[in-house]
A = this chain, B = another copy of it.
Amino acid sequence: MLEKLKKEVYEANMLLPDYKLITFTWGNVSGIDREKNLVVIKPSGIEYHNLKPEDMVVLDLEGNHVEGEYNPSSDTATHLELYRRSPQINGIVHTHSPWATSWAQAGREIPCYGTTHADYIYGSIPCVRNLTQEEVDEGYEKNTGKLIVDSFDRQELDYEAVPAVLCKNHGVFTWGKSSHEAVHNAVVVEEVAKMAARSEMINQRIQPAPQYLLDKHYYRKHGANAYYGQGGK
């Protein structure tokens, strides 16, 4: 079942080592079939060079195991929480990619210092707080997902305009219209995180880029008036 989605999610997972976003098994990618309400996700702790499309695990949105011989990724409950909250999200990536994770460990959102960032992400990349001990005890992975969605709700962030979040002392989640777009955004966040840290090193009094420049770049690539790429053809 879901052979096409399994292959897609498998391939998206295999891109993580190719893009140097992960060490060992420190990442996972999922995708969703919105008609059947079924999620396909990487199994937990299997080495990438041994993965096969048929190893992907199929779950429903409540986390019930539907198909697959392995346990799903230990971060599955976080993925499910995001899928349940936003119909805009059809693919999710979690990694400990080194620059993004360095910001997460520093507990700081990534300010928008330039157009590389603005081309993909509208505004800062948020960093959610640590869970409390109670939240960890009650359900670590599920409550990580709840914290993200509550935080996006409170800040009225749009999941398409802000396709990434840092989790303090942990790592990064990105998403998109497909598992491949989510991987693409994970690469963007890592590159943006690297350049933001270096820009602060080069100029300690750095300011975020002006809003109208960010608007220009974001809307050059997104929305009705976009003119980047071959979309107008």
Q: Which of B104, B206, B227 contacts A114 (CB 8 A)?
A: B104
Cα-based distance from A23 to B228 in the complex (angstroms)? 16
- Closest Cβ of chain B to A30, distance in Å, is 17
**Cβ of A200: which chain B residues have Cβ within 8 Å of it?**
106, 202
Query: Chain A: residues with CB nearer than 8 A to chain B?
Result: 23-24, 26, 43-46, 70-71, 74, 96, 98-99, 101-108, 113-116, 130-131, 133, 136-137, 140, 169-171, 184, 187-188, 191, 194-203, 206, 209-210, 212-213, 216, 220, 227-230, 232-233
Cα-based distance from A142 to B137 in the complex (angstroms)? 45
Q: Which of B105, B194, B202 contacts A103 (CB 8 A)?
A: B202
Q: Which of B71, B74, B105, B213 contacts A206 (CB 8 A)?
A: B105
- Closest Cβ of chain B to A171, distance in Å, is 7
When the two chains form their complex, are residues A198 and B130 in contact, meaning their CB atoms are under 8 A apart? no
When the two chains form their complex, are residues A213 and B102 in contact, meaning their CB atoms are under 8 A apart? no
**Cβ of A130: which chain B residues have Cβ within 8 Å of it?**
209-210, 213
When the two chains form their complex, are residues A71 and B184 in contact, meaning their CB atoms are under 8 A apart? no
When the two chains form their complex, are residues A170 and B114 in contact, meaning their CB atoms are under 8 A apart? yes
**Contacts A103-B199, A169-B213 given; 20 further ones with Cβ under 8 A?**
A23-B187, A26-B116, A43-B230, A74-B220, A96-B115, A101-B195, A105-B195, A105-B206, A105-B209, A106-B113, A106-B202, A107-B203, A116-B171, A133-B212, A136-B212, A136-B216, A140-B216, A197-B198, A197-B201, A200-B202
**Cβ of A171: which chain B residues have Cβ within 8 Å of it?**
114-116
Cα-based distance from A214 to B97 in the complex (angstroms)? 19
When the two chains form their complex, are residues A44 and B170 in contact, meaning their CB atoms are under 8 A apart? no
Cα-based distance from A24 to B15 in the complex (angstroms)? 13
**Cβ of A230: which chain B residues have Cβ within 8 Å of it?**
43-46, 70-71
When the two chains form their complex, are residues A203 and B108 in contact, meaning their CB atoms are under 8 A apart? yes
